[in-house]
Amino acid sequence: MWQSLIDACVDACQVLYNQEIKADIVHIQKTNAQFRQEADLTVMVFPLVKFSRKAPEQTAQDIGNYLKNTVDYVEDFTVVKGFLNLKIANSFWISFLQHHFSDTRFCIQEADNSLAPIIVEYSSPNTNKPLHLGHIRNNLLGDSISRILKANGKNVLQVNLVNDRGIHICKSMLAWQKWGNGETPESSGLKGDKLVGKYYVLFDTHYKQQIAELIGKGIGEEDAAKQAPLIQEAQTMLERWEAGDAEVRELWKRMNSWVYAGFDVSYASMGISFDKMYYESLTYLLGKDLVHKGLTDDIFYHNDDGAVWVDLTDEGLGEKLLLRANGTSVYMTQDLGTACTRYDEFHPERMIYVVGNEQNYHFDVLKKVLKKMHYAWADAIRHFSYGMVELPEGKMKSREGTVVDADDLIAEVIETARQTTMELGKLDNFDSEEALNLFRILGLGGLKYFILKVDPLKNMMFNPKESIDFTGNTGPFIQYTYARIQSLLRKSDTEIGALNVSSSININEEERELLHLCSDFDRILHLAAEELSPAHIANYTFELAKQYNQFYQRITVLKEENQELREFRLALSHFTAIIIKNGMSLLGIEVPQRM
C-alpha cells in the first residue's frame, strides 16, 4: 500500500505540475495520534513544494484531490499545514483482512536454499567455564537474526566456533590434575561445564597466591605473574598439547567432553541449535599459509625477531602481529584462515559474526588484512557487534564471582513463572506436564524478550528483578494476549476456515488501528532483516499485543449479536494471534494456548 501511494504521488506531480520527481523524496508516515480519527496515513508535502511552486497547503490540496480521484482506497483527505492526511477506505481494510486472516505464514517467506548462504556465527564459547549472561545475549541475538533472515527468504547457515584449546583450557586441566582427586561429573553430580569451571577458578586462586608470595619477596608484579610456577606449568602443558602429547591430549578430550555435555543441556534449555560446529583445535593452524603467501607478496613483513606483522597505519589501525616468531598462530592468524576456508567451502553471500563490541578492532583488522590481500569477499564479512550486558552492581567479572550463570538464571526465571502462576491461581485443569511446560514457556519468554527488546548495538542494564516481571512491556504480557485470543476462538465454536468476512462492515476505531498495525508487519520484518535487529520485532509485537488488548477491553466479540460483526472480529482476532505467534517465534519465544 505504501509503495503504491508513493507511486501515485509521483504521478500526481507529473500530471499536476509536469514535474519528474524521484520516489524517494515522497515521505509517507502513519498519521499522528492527534489526527488519527480522521486519517490513517500522512504525506509530507514540504519536499514537493519546490516542484509545485505553490504554498504547502495548496500543494496538499492538489495532491489530495488527485489521490482521492485516482486511488480507489483513498477515501478522503484533510490538510493541516503542510501535512496531507489520507483516510483509507473501509473496503481496503476489509479486503486486506479477507485475503490474509487465515494465512498462518503471513509475510513469512520460506528460506530459499538455492541461494548463496548467509553464515551466522554465534555463541563461540570457551570450554573452560560455563555459559553466563553475556553468552545468553550472544546466543539469543544469533538465533533470532538467523530466524529473521530465514523469514525473509534467506538461506542461513548457523555455525558455532568452539574455543576448545589454549592456555585457559590448560589452566583448568592443570588444576584438576593437581587437586581434582579424579573427580568426574558422575562422581560429584556436577554438570560437566560447572565442574571444569570450578577448577578454572581454583587455578586462579592458587595462581594469585603464588603471585602475592613472589611480590612479598620483592619481585615486581609483572615479573611475578610470569614467574609463578603454576603459570609456567600451564605453559608447559600447552606446549605439550601442541606437540600432540598423548597424556595431555587424553585429559583434554576427557574434560572437554564433560563441558560439551554440559553445554548441550544449556543450549537445549535455551532452544538454541547449530547447523555446523567448528572447533578451534581443528582450525587454529589454518591461516599460516595465508600469512606466508602475504609475506611473499610483500603485503606483510618480518620483524627483527622473525615475527610476521602487517602495517595498517594508513588505515588508522596501527601495526598488528599475524604470526609469532616461533611460528605459532595468534587469534588473527586463525580467523584469517577460517574466513578463507568458509568462503571456499560455501561462497556465502555474507558471513555474519555475532561477537561483542569489545572486538570491534579485531574485526576491523580482519577485514582490512583480507582486503590488503585482494580478497574481494572481505566485504561479505559483517561483524554483528553488540553491546555489553551490565548488572546493577556493575560489570560482570568471572574471577570475582559476579557473573550471572546461564543455567541458574534460566532456572530462576522458570521458578518465578511457577510462583507467579500459582499466586494468580491460573492452573485450573492443567495436568502437571502441561503446567511445567507453561512455566518453561513463560520464564524463557520473559528472559528472551527482556534481552531482545533492546537495540543490540547498545549496552544494556540487566536487572534480575525486572527481567522476571510479567506485566507491561514483557514477553508474558504478549504471551497472555495470545492465550486470551486462543480462549476466545475456542469458545466461539467456529472453524476459522468457515469464517466469512463480510464486505459491508463498518469498522470502528480500534479495529482500524489493529488492522493498520497488522499490515505493518511486512515492513517491520524487512526492516529487522536489513538492520539485523530483533528489537524491531520485539517492539512491534508488543505494540500489536497492546493494541489488541485495547480492542478486547472495549469491544465485545462473542456477545456481539450481529453475526457479520462477530465473524469479522473473530477473524481479526485470529489474524492478530497469527502475527503475535510468528513475531514471537522470530525471537525464539513460544506462545501458550492457555495461561
Partner RNA sequence: GGUCCCGUAGCUCAGUGGAUAGAGCAACAGCCUUCUAAGCUGUGGGCCAUUGGUUCGAAUCCAAUCGGGAUCACCA
77 to 116, contacts with RNA by CB under 7 A?
Answer: 80-83, 85
Kindly state the smallest distance separating residue 405's Cβ from RNA, in Å: 20
Q: Which of 312, 388, 404, 499 binds RNA (CB under 7 A)?
A: 388
Based on the shown chain and the rule CB under 7 A, indicate whether residue 512 belongs to the binding site for RNA: no
- Please answer whether residues 454 and 587 qualify as being in contact, where contact means their C-beta atoms are separated by less than 8 angstroms: no
156 versus 336: smaller Cβ distance to RNA: 336
DSSP bridge partners of 227: none
Helix-helix angle 167-179:229-242, to 10 degrees:
110
Based on the shown chain and the rule CB under 7 A, indicate whether residue 167 belongs to the binding site for RNA: yes
How far is it, in rounded angstroms, from Cα 522 to Cα 108?
9
Binding residues for RNA, total number by CB under 7 A? 93
68 versus 362: smaller Cβ distance to RNA: 362
Q: Which amino acid is at 230?
A: L
204 versus 349: smaller Cβ distance to RNA: 204
Find the radius of gyration of the CA atoms of the chain: 30
505 versus 557: smaller Cβ distance to RNA: 557
Q: Which of 265, 285, 295, 460 binds RNA (CB under 7 A)?
A: 460
Q: Which three cell numbers stand for residue 363?
A: 574485526
User: Which residues ranging from 408 to 447 are in contact with RNA (CB under 7 A)?
Assistant: 417, 420-421, 424, 426, 438, 442
How far is it, in rounded angstroms, from Cα 534 to Cα 525?
9
DSSP bridge partners of 574: none
- Residue the block writes with cell 561445564: 193
How far is it, in rounded angstroms, from Cα 113 to Cα 184?
43
User: Which residues ranging from 193 to 222 are in contact with RNA (CB under 7 A)?
Assistant: none
Based on the shown chain and the rule CB under 7 A, indicate whether residue 568 belongs to the binding site for RNA: no
Q: Which of 299, 404, 457, 496 binds RNA (CB under 7 A)?
A: 457
14 versus 487: smaller Cβ distance to RNA: 487
Based on the shown chain and the rule CB under 7 A, indicate whether residue 325 belongs to the binding site for RNA: yes
User: Which residues ranging from 219 to 278 are in contact with RNA (CB under 7 A)?
Assistant: none
170 versus 175: smaller Cβ distance to RNA: 170
Based on the shown chain and the rule CB under 7 A, indicate whether residue 395 belongs to the binding site for RNA: yes
Based on the shown chain and the rule CB under 7 A, indicate whether residue 559 belongs to the binding site for RNA: yes
Based on the shown chain and the rule CB under 7 A, indicate whether residue 557 belongs to the binding site for RNA: yes
DSSP bridge partners of 89: none
Neighbouring C-beta atoms of residue 392, cutoff 10 Å: 10
189 versus 394: smaller Cβ distance to RNA: 394
Closest to 118 in 3D by CA, of 384, 307, 303, 337: 384
Based on the shown chain and the rule CB under 7 A, indicate whether residue 281 belongs to the binding site for RNA: no
Q: Which of 219, 312, 330, 496 binds RNA (CB under 7 A)?
A: 330
Write the interaction track for RNA spanning residues 115-154; mark x where CB under 7 A is met and - where it is not: -----------x----------------------------
Binding segment for RNA (CB under 7 A), chosen from 131-139, 200-208, 322-330, 404-412, is 322-330
Q: Which residues of 1-33 are buried (b: 16+ CB within 10 A; e: fewer)?
A: beeebbebbbebbeebbeeebeeebbebeebee
Based on the shown chain and the rule CB under 7 A, indicate whether residue 466 belongs to the binding site for RNA: yes
8 versus 435: smaller Cβ distance to RNA: 435
Bridge-based pairing of strands 301-302 and 308-311 is antiparallel
Q: Which of 297, 461, 500, 562 binds RNA (CB under 7 A)?
A: 461
Helices (H), 158-245: 167-179, 185-188, 192-216, 221-227, 229-242
155 versus 541: smaller Cβ distance to RNA: 541
How far is it, in rounded angstroms, from Cα 323 to Cα 288?
8
Closest to 491 in 3D by CA, of 546, 566, 555: 566
Write the interaction track for RNA spanning residues 527-556; mark x where CB under 7 A is met and - where it is not: --------xx--x--x---x--xx-xxxxx
CA 183 vs CA 178, 207, 230, 276: distances in Å? 11, 21, 20, 31
Kindly state the smallest distance separating residue 488's Cβ from RNA, in Å: 4
